[in-house]
Structure 1
Amino acid sequence: MVHGVTLLTREGCGSCVRVHDQLVPLCARAGARLEVTDVDRAADRELAIEYGDRLPVVLVDGAEHSCWEVDDAELVATLADTQPFAGWD
């Protein structure tokens, strides 16, 4: 399965840049698709309302995986799973 990873960001967010740089090689090694969405410029205005005060947020297969910090080992394990990520229980 090819997982989709979405990084929710905001212009001028230094943490967002740091997490993006962290995600690029992890997604490349896992063969995951990485997409970056600026919540302030997204077509879905609800993204800015829902996530705006706790960026960066990483979604995997549309479900929230992590916020502010990314644990490399945790993300690698998620991306190695053959099932879609449904979020943490």
Structure 2
Amino acid sequence: MRKVTLIGKPGCHLCEVARDVVARVCEETAAEWEERDINKDEELYRKYWEQIPVVLVDGEQHDFWRVDPERLRRALVG
């Protein structure tokens, strides 16, 4: 099963939009997903603070700022 991680922070409008896209695409493709708060993880903060929201697929960076649903869907279904 593929795993998507959304890295963002509370109050971030782009993060809210990304959450909706990730949730919808993961539901369609039966992929698992989780959300991580950049404010609660020092390593994530150092690595991604200028790029949020960031989407990882199976631990590898896939997108940042804006999530393209078609591109994410293609990544998840092969």
- TM-score bin (small chain): over 0.9
> Displacement of 1:71 after TM fit?
1.4
The alignment's TM-score, normalised by the length of structure 1, stands at 0.83
Question: How far apart, CA to CA, are the structure 1 residues paired with 2:68 and 2:17?
Answer: 13
Q: Does 1:58 align with 2:49?
A: no
> Displacement of 1:50 after TM fit?
0.8
Query: In the comparison of the two structures, how many residue pairs are matched?
Result: 78
Q: Does 1:41 align with 2:12?
A: no
Unaligned runs of 5+ in 1: 82-89
Larger radius of gyration: 1
Partner of 1:7: 6
Identity among equivalent positions (%) equals: 35
Unaligned runs of 5+ in 2: none
The alignment's TM-score, normalised by the length of structure 2, stands at 0.94
Question: How far apart, CA to CA, are the structure 2 residues paired with 1:20 and 1:77?
Answer: 18
Question: How far apart, CA to CA, are the structure 2 residues paired with 1:74 and 1:21?
Answer: 15
Question: How far apart, CA to CA, are the structure 2 residues paired with 1:29 and 1:36?
Answer: 18
Of Structure 1 and Structure 2, the greater helix share is in 2
> What RMSD in Å do the two structures reach over aligned CA positions?
0.8
> Displacement of 1:10 after TM fit?
1.1
Alignment equivalent of 2:66, drawn from 44, 66, 69? 69
